[in-house]
Amino acid sequence: MPLYQVSDWLLDIAFILYVLSSVVFIVAMTGKNWAGRDPKQHEIKFGRIAYWMAVIGFIAQTGYVITRWIAGGHSPTSNMFEFMAFLDYCIILAYLIIYRIYKLTVIGAFVLPLGVIMLAYSYVFPKEITPLIPSLQSYWLHIHVTTAALGEGILAVGFAAGLMYLILTIPQKVATKSTRWLEIVLAVVLMLVGFIAMESTFARMDQKTVFEMTQPSTTPTGQASPQKVEYTLPAIVAPANSTIMKEGPMSPWFTAPEWMEGKDAARKLNTMIWSVISGVVLYGGLRLIFRKRLAAAIQPSLEGIDPDLVDEISYRAISIGYPVFTLGALIFAMIWAHEAWGRFWGWDPKEVWALIVWLFYSAYLHLRLSRGWIGAKSAWMSVIGFVIILITLVVVNLVIAGLHSYAGV
Partner 1 sequence: MDQRKCECGHTNPVGTLLCESCGKPLDIELVEQKEFPDMRYEGMARRSQTYTTRIVDRVWNTFSSVKIAIWIIVVILVASGLGTIFPQQQFIPVPVPTELDVERFYTDTYGVLGTIYYQLGMHNMYSSWWFVTLLVMLGTSLIICSLDRVIPLYKALNKPRLNQHKSFLKGQKLYAEAPKPADRSEQELLEQTAQALKKKGYYLFQTDRALLAEKGRFSRWGPYINHIGLILFLIGVLMRSLPGFHLDEYVWVREGETVPIPETPYYVKNVAYKTEYYTEEEMPQKLDLNGGAIAKSYQTDAILYLNRNADIPGAKPDLVEVKSGPIIVNHPMKHESIYLYQSGFQEMQLGALNFTLLDVKNGNKEIGPIKLDLYNPERDIQVAEGYKVRVLDYFPDFAMGKDGKPITQTNLPKNPMFAMEIVSERDAINEKVVYLEGSILTQKNDAQFGLKISMPDLIDITGLNVRTDKALPLVWVGSFIFMIGVVMGFFWQHRRIWIQFQDGNILIAGHTNKNWFGLRKEVEGMVQQTNLSVTLEDKSKV
The smaller minimum CB distance to partner 1, of residues 283 and 364, is found at 364
**Closest distance to partner 1 from the beta carbon of 347 (Å):** 5
Residue of 134, 9, 1 whose CA lies nearest to 74: 134
**Closest distance to partner 1 from the beta carbon of 132 (Å):** 8
Q: How many whole angstroms separate alpha carbon 409 and alpha carbon 403?
A: 16
Residue of 156, 153, 164, 136 whose CA lies nearest to 73: 136
Helical H segments across 124-232, by residue range: 139-169, 177-205
Q: How many whole angstroms separate alpha carbon 132 and alpha carbon 38?
A: 55
The smaller minimum CB distance to partner 1, of residues 154 and 193, is found at 154
The smaller minimum CB distance to partner 1, of residues 30 and 138, is found at 138
**Closest distance to partner 1 from the beta carbon of 370 (Å):** 4
Query: Which own/partner pairs from 375-378 qualify as long-range (CB within 8 Å, at least 24 positions apart)?
Result: 375/165, 375/169, 375/307, 375/311, 376/165, 376/166, 376/169, 376/170, 376/178, 378/162, 378/311, 378/314, 378/315
**Closest distance to partner 1 from the beta carbon of 339 (Å):** 6
**Closest distance to partner 1 from the beta carbon of 349 (Å):** 4
Residue of 300, 259, 276, 222 whose CA lies nearest to 26: 300
Structural contact between residues 230 and 213, judged by C-beta atoms closer than 8 angstroms? no
**Closest distance to partner 1 from the beta carbon of 400 (Å):** 6
**Closest distance to partner 1 from the beta carbon of 131 (Å):** 5
The smaller minimum CB distance to partner 1, of residues 113 and 349, is found at 349
The smaller minimum CB distance to partner 1, of residues 300 and 372, is found at 372
The smaller minimum CB distance to partner 1, of residues 130 and 178, is found at 130
**Closest distance to partner 1 from the beta carbon of 288 (Å):** 37
The smaller minimum CB distance to partner 1, of residues 291 and 347, is found at 347
Chain centre distance of CA 85: 9
Chain centre distance of CA 186: 14
**Closest distance to partner 1 from the beta carbon of 315 (Å):** 7
Structural contact between residues 247 and 209, judged by C-beta atoms closer than 8 angstroms? yes
Residues at the contact surface with partner 1, assessed by CB under 8 A: 2, 4, 71-73, 101-102, 128-131, 133-135, 137-138, 140, 219-222, 258-259, 308-309, 312, 315-316, 319-320, 322-323, 326-327, 330-331, 334-335, 338-349, 352-353, 355-356, 359-360, 362-363, 366-367, 369-372, 396, 400-402
The smaller minimum CB distance to partner 1, of residues 78 and 179, is found at 78
The smaller minimum CB distance to partner 1, of residues 101 and 175, is found at 101
Q: How many whole angstroms separate alpha carbon 216 and alpha carbon 154?
A: 44
Q: What's the burial of 267, exposed, middle or buried (CB within 10 Å: 0-12/13-18/19+)?
A: buried
Paired with 224 in beta bridges are 218
